[in-house]
Structure 1
Amino acid sequence: MMREFSLKAMCLLTCVFVFAQNDLVQLDEVTVTDSRFERSVSKTGRSVTLLTTKDIEPFLGGTLADLLTNQAGIHINGAQSHHGSELSYFIRGGNNRQVLVLIDGVPVSDPTQIENDFDLRTIDLSSIESVEIIRGAASSLYGSAAATAVIKITTNQPKQQSLGGSIRTIYGSNNDKSDFSLAPNNQIRQLQFVIGNPTNAGSISLSDQRTMGMSSVIGTEDDSTAKQNLSAQYQLQLSSDFRLNTFFTKDYFSSEYDDSFPVLMDADNHFTSESQRVVVQPKWTGESSSFVGRVSWSSSSRDFDSSFPIKFEGDVMDFEGVFSTKLSSQFSGLIGLNHKQQKAQFSEKVSADLMDYFVNVLYESEGFFEAQAGSRLSEHSTYGSHWTYHINPSLYFDFSSFDLRFHASLSTAFIAPSLYKLFDTYSGNQNLKPETNQSFEIGTSLFFKNGGQFQLTYFNREHQNFVDYDMTSFRYVNSTTDFEVYGTEFLFSYPLTNRFYVQTNYTYTQNEAGEGLRIPKHKVNTSFRQQFNSNTQFLTSIQFVGDRDDLVGQDLVELSSYWLLNLRISHQLSQAGVSLFASIENVFNADYEEVRGYTTRGRNLSLGVSYAF
């Protein structure tokens, strides 16, 4: 609850900063990098969503999962449960291992995780400046695991100013459906400092969040959580065309949790996760060419203290170099290479190496046609060579009041089994084959010059060698049959007046094999933002999640559909740098489940204040 709570509160705060400005952001001013070239969002030939500060701020005080689960095509299961709940990333009906997360251009993953994914619970939302969501297979551009989506996170960049910063505090309740208390069981404190001059800039940020008041499973015992984040970065302009960026982050997350086997019950279990990441990025920019390099190292440890105690440790070393150039007025191209080494400690030390070579070409005509194509050769230490590719034509037309775009995309992806699935003592299977899939999408978009947009996309993805857990052998195995997942995404947003903005999205997802536990076939998100004056804003958001299937033992059960209503208000004190915000989550105290037998958040209230200097 608290997570969603804080998130909303921050959302209010954000609205204040974002919507205190009456000027709408024009779409031709917004650039995305879905092709690894910067270009206008109205010209991109893929299904892309760019979330900027104005979209993120209303969710500050919550989590990245809360923000993402409100976007078209995305359902984050666990985002509305106990703060320590495991998260499942269902994008276009896929799962965690099919989603690649980049932070400041660096692929992040945890080789000790079952799915080799990045734990979204560990990142502090207030440290994020923008999020770009690229839907569909993109292995040829971004590497293995980019099978259903790429989530590109850009953290707050240091500003070239002498000194600045911000302080934010939030207190909120953390109740489930059966309880309502105003006790401040969700507490968040965030601090950021920025220092810089015309050539160099640096920043450091700290955050701390503590929660209690809810049980992990439906029960009576509180299971508390704690999260601390430290991040620092420094940007050094060595010359007019050469820049060196450095990053350091350290994340700590802990949570009490309950027993799930042999039955769900309160228990005195404790989970701790620690990770750190160091990145060095040199960047050279010429008149028509550029080179971006990267050296990164990350380590992680996960410790489970229960009646079945276990600890995992791992690290990742990653190198990449990308050279891009403007070949002519119509053609741009890039070539690159990437090497990644993953290590993990299970019953023994294990590792995997992956060497990639990739190329991408973008064609932009003088008229209305655009196309990009690319390919990647992946050399895996266990699975040998695999080719992936993408072909992406699009048409766009510029009218006086809107831009019209039609796009299509055909792409493939390759996913090697995680080290856990290969080498875990109890469930590992070293005979697993890598997964592959082919994705096709076709869509149309309208981008209104006043900031509104309309998007409609059909997607279809075919899986081969899908890896799943076998309830008979209790090991991971490859599926013996191929299957398809398909669906439709709809998005509409429009400023009805200068002070009233409406946004809605709908996602339909169908798995022809009947797979996809906890994935809703139908999902809707709608929000209304009312700007009363330059300093005060009111936000109403509604979410509908359709019926889903869950598994209890070996029996399928149905999780009923549900509606959630959330209200948020924010106010900025004129010229003082102080913002006040409040929110009520799950206004009608809806009773719902994300996982059978586990708690979800009920009605909650949060209050917060921030000061920028």
Structure 2
Amino acid sequence: MKKTAVSLVALLAAGPLPLQAQDIALDEIVVSANLDETEASRSGATVEVVTGEDLRSTADLRFSDVLRRLPGVSVNTRGAMGSQAGISIRGASQNYVGVLVDGIDVTDPTGTQVAFDFGQLGTTDVSRVEVLKGSQSALYGSGAVGGVVTITSRRPTEEGTHQSVAAEAGSNDTLALSYGITHLSDDWEVALTLSHIETDGFSNASEADGNDEADGYRGDRLSFYVARTLQSGVRIGINGFTEESKSDYDPAYYLPGSLSGQRLTYDEITAETIALGDGGSFDERLDRSSTGLRAFAEFDTGPVSHTFSVTDFRTERTYFENELAPNYLDYDPVTGTYGTAMRQTENTYEGHRTGVDWRGGFDAMGGRMILGAGWKNEDYDQTGDWGNLSENSSTKGVYGEFSRSLGDLDVALSLRHDDHSIFGGFNSGRVALAYRLDEATILRAQAGTGYRAPSNFELFSFYGSRELQPEQSRNVDLGIEHEFSEGTSVRATAFYLEVDDLIDFDRTSTGCPAAATNGPGCYSQVPGTSRRSGLELSGEMALTGTLGLAAAYTYTDSATNASTSWASVPRHLVAVELTSDLTPTLHGRIGVTAALDRPDDFGTPVDNYSLVDATLTKDIGSGREAYLRVENLLDEEYELVPGYGTSGRAIFAGFRASF
């Protein structure tokens, strides 16, 4: 059957053969686009797919580096490995993006806004990534306004028992080690991965402000997957992960300059910091741990296929700080500014999410019907110098989807109703269409609504309000894909997203308990609509039998924003990659990513940047290979987030073996 390119992962990496991994055949399955597994060519939604071969080709260590090459995705890292890293999909920031790891919702229920921090996630146990774009609350509930990132860990792919090892060392005294084992038989699927990463890092506070201390990171992770098919045909399983890390960080968001909208350099407060014995180094520490578990059962009763799952996710973060911080008891109502004081603080945030979900699928009316129901509860516990807080909220929902093929047209209709314990009910819907104009051309259209429920911090904290209502979104995107020949294709997608009643920190509001003692400043609903629109263009070309070129361009128009919480993203994002089989055993790739026309930082222009990275992979034989990866090849000075540092030229060498 003829192949049609529907997800141009060449911008992430080429496989061992040029661009082989970037073409998705008509029968490739994506799991995130609909409630039921769907052939990629029959999905009306745009899905970017990153395969295991793609990950091996780039040899990226940080997961955020994988995402930054995808069209429509912007990544903001606040320093070295272990520092906070968030993403935006088509201009919608991380608190509007759902993240699932092996079916477990890993967004942090203790965050100011519920979001996932990609800063400590590596790639060693990742086998596949899907990035679904557009408002998807009809499928995934609250928070899926900009899209959903679905991450799948290592899975067995070959019969028998297989093992793998990997080691990497390089700049900033970085060391990464991993071990994996899988087993596949008629009845059993088993996979386990152990990984360790440590690095001295570089200064998370920008070196442009005179900071040269190293902010290090050390993390360990275990992930596993076990499934068994019983003689009755019932399939049961359990999967999960546990991880712990320690990292240094520079909490610039606590500095008084961040409250006044002015950038404050660390040099300005070095003397006061030294007086507290910190030696001028802003090496505050974050201890973090998280654990996720999912148990599931899959079985049939007559014509109905059932999936029942229970998930449990726990996270804990403890911050140790010795910093100049705003003194919230010293507020000047005339100037609207806070005083400052030196503080030594320790604060712990514990989150717990429990979920139960049932899903049943059956054939109906010439198509496929999926019905489901779910419940989740989120606990938030905060202790320490910033005060104590213990609250929870819960959501129960019912949902359904009907999909059908009508000749060359595939239709999916999705509806969902959620009932939140605080604000009550909310409805969301989506329609997705894919039309095969001919064997080489696919037209796609998607329209949907979404919502983001207020976080527990926004609802219950000293600065929160229980009167907050969900933010509401509407999304439309239209796309066309065409394959000219094997390995040469183009895709264009126009998108539009708008959100009403954004929740933001209003420095003039008096509607929360904090205002009674600290002066104005609370979370509140912002009237009006924030809009994002734009265009994604991507393509790939097989230049020769061993040389491939891929490119992507994303234009985002952010002209209308009602709230500062709506993420600021570059107007132009560009990614270009050249790959080649230099010899039968030597594969090379070089890529360029650039951000142009970046939004101002409180009125201060932010410089554009372009980065070059390269990877060289050598097949040694017998399942072994070595690689060399160079990041920021031209040693460019730049900032992804104003005030936060980035790496200069960095070189890493690695070895991988399977047996």
TM-score normalised by L of structure 1: 0.90
Residues 371, 283 of structure 1: alpha-carbon distance in 2 compared, 3 angstrom cutoff: same
The reply on whether 1:397 has 2:437 as its aligned counterpart is: yes
**What letter matches 1:589 in structure 2?**
D
Structure 1 position 343, deviation (Å):
0.4
- The partner residue of 1:297 within 309, 312, 316 is 312
How far apart, in 2, do the equivalents of 1:281 and 1:64 lie? 27
Shift of the 213–350 alpha-carbon distance from structure 1 to 2, 3 Å rule, reads: closer
124 and 144 in structure 1: CA distance in 2 versus 1, 3 angstrom threshold: same
Alignment deviations for residues 437-458 of structure 1 (CA, whole Å, 9 cap, x no partner): 1111111112456244321111
For the structure 1 residues 193 and 20, does the alpha-carbon distance in structure 2 shift closer, same or farther, using more than 3 Å as the test?
Answer: farther
Aligned partners of 1:235 and 1:469: how far apart in 2? 45
Match of 2:393 in 1: 352
- Name the residue aligned to 2:641: 595
- Alignment-mate amino acid for residue 362 of structure 1: S
Identify the residue that residue 293 of structure 2 maps to in structure 1: 278
Alpha-carbon distance between aligned partners in 1 of 2:606 and 2:18, rounded to the nearest angstrom: 40
Contact 2:57 2:617 in 1 (8 A): no
Moved more, 185-194 or 235-244: 235-244
The partner residue of 1:314 within 318, 338, 351 is 351
User: Cα gap change, 1:128/1:23 in structure 2, threshold over 3 Å: closer, same or farther?
Assistant: closer
Q: Is the 8 A contact 1:42 1:447 kept in 2?
A: no
Contact 1:229 1:250 survives alignment (8 Å): yes
Q: Secondary structure at the match of 2:41?
A: coil
| Partners of 2:41 and 2:442 within 8 A in 1 | yes
For structure 1, the 5+ residue unaligned runs are 1-10, 175-184
1:156 corresponds to which residue?
154
Task: Classify the secondary structure of the residue corresponding to 1:417.
Answer: coil
Q: Secondary structure at the match of 1:301?
A: strand
In the alignment, which of 283, 295, 301 is matched to residue 268 of structure 1? 283
Task: Give secondary structure in 2 for the equivalent of 1:397.
Answer: strand
Give 1:393 shift.
Answer: 2.7
Opposite residue 477 of structure 1, the aligned amino acid is S
- The alignment partner of 2:119 has SS state of helix
- 2:653 aligned with 1:607: yes
* Equivalent pair of 1:26/1:451 in contact (CA under 8 Å): no
1:304-453 pair list within 5 angstroms: 304-306=319-321, 307-327=344-364, 330-346=366-382, 347-365=388-406, 367-399=407-439, 402=440, 404-425=441-462, 427-447=463-483, 450-453=486-489
Partner residue of 2:595? 545
2:507 pairs, out of 436, 450, 471, with 471
Alpha-carbon separation, structure 2, partners of 1:165 and 1:550: 49
Q: Post-superposition shift, 1:550?
A: 4.8
C-alpha contact 1:234 1:247 (8 A) present in aligned 2:
yes
Secondary structure of the corresponding residue to residue 67 of structure 1: helix
Q: Which residue does 1:216 correspond to in 2? A: 204
Q: Match of 1:606, as an amino acid?
A: F
Q: Are 2:545 and 1:498 aligned?
A: yes
Residue 241 of structure 1: how far off its partner (Å): 3.0
| 2:330 equivalent in structure 1 | none
Distance 1:320 1:332 in 2: 19
Q: How many residues align?
A: 581
Q: Which amino acid aligns with 1:602?
A: G
Distance change in 2, residues 1:370/1:15 (3 Å): closer
Could you say what secondary structure the match of 2:584 adopts? coil
| Residues 86 and 93 in structure 2, CA contact (< 8 A), matched pair in contact too | yes
Map 1:570-585; keep pairs closer than 5 Å: 570-574=617-621, 576-585=622-631
Alignment of 1:43-122 (within 5 A): 43-78=42-77, 81-122=79-120
For each residue in 1:266-308, what CA deviation from the matched residue of structure 2 results, as whole angstroms up to 9, or x when unmatched? 4231011100111101112579642111101111100000123
CA deviation after TM superposition for structure 1 residue 359, in Å: 0.7
2:583 corresponds to: 533
Deviations 1:357-395 (A, max 9, x none): 001011201x22221111100000001111101122332
Report if the CA contact (8 A) 2:14-2:21 is conserved: no
CA deviations 1:83-127 (Å, max 9, x no partner) are 233112111111111101122223222111112112223433121
Contact 1:446 1:453 in 2 (8 A): yes
Which of residues 560, 563, 567 is equivalent to 2:610?
563
Q: Show CA shifts across 1:309-345 (max 9, x none).
A: 21101101001111112225x4111000110000011
SS at match of 1:598: coil
Change in Cα spacing, 1:450 to 1:287, as seen in structure 2 (3 Å) is farther
Tell whether the 8 Å contact from 2:551 to 2:575 is kept in structure 1 after alignment: yes
**1:3 aligned partner:** none
**Are the aligned partners of 1:247 and 1:279 in contact in 2 as well (CA < 8 Å)?**
yes
Q: Which amino acid aligns with 1:467?
A: I
Give the counterpart letter for 2:38 in structure 1. R
Distance verdict in 2 for CA 1:580–1:293, change over 3 Å: same
Separation in structure 2 between the aligned mates of residue 343 and residue 235 of structure 1, nearest angstrom: 29
The 1-side partners of 2:165 and 2:556 are apart by: 41
Q: Letter of the aligned partner of 1:232 in structure 2?
A: F
State which structure, 1 or 2, has the greater radius of gyration over its C-alpha atoms.
Answer: 2
Aligned-residue CA RMSD (Å): 2.3
Secondary structure at the aligned position of 1:232 is classed as: strand
Distance 2:43 2:180 in 1: 34
Paired letter, 2:347: I
Give distance in 2, aligned partners of 1:331 and 1:165.
42
Deviation at 1:162, TM superposition (A): 3.2
Whole-angstrom distance in 1 between the partners of 2:611 and 2:488: 25
Deviates more, 1:248-257 or 1:191-200: 191-200
Can you give the 5+ residue segments of structure 2 that lack an aligned partner in the other structure?
1-9, 257-263, 267-280, 322-343, 383-387, 509-519
CA distance in 2, matches of 1:214, 1:106: 32
CA distance in 2, matches of 1:106, 1:540: 34
1:226 offset after TM fit, Å? 1.1
Other structure's SS at 1:224 match = strand
Identity, % of aligned pairs?
Answer: 22
* CA gap 1:208/1:345 in 2 versus in 1, 3 angstroms: same
Matching residue's letter, 1:126? T
Does the residue aligned with 2:604 lie in a helix, a strand or coil? strand
Change in Cα spacing, 1:216 to 1:161, as seen in structure 2 (3 Å) is same
Classify the secondary structure of the residue corresponding to 1:559: coil
Tell me which amino acid in the other structure corresponds to 2:231.
S
Separation of aligned partners in 2, 1:517 and 1:244:
41
CA deviations over 1:390-410 (Å, ceiling 9, x no partner): 1223321333xx2x1112221
| 8 A Cα contact 2:19 2:487, kept in partner | no
Deviation at 1:352, TM superposition (A): 0.5
Please say if residues 629 and 653 of structure 2, whose CA atoms lie closer than 8 Å, have aligned partners that are also in contact. Answer: yes
**Aligned equivalents of 1:388, 1:480: Cα separation in 2:** 21
TM-score by length of 2: 0.84
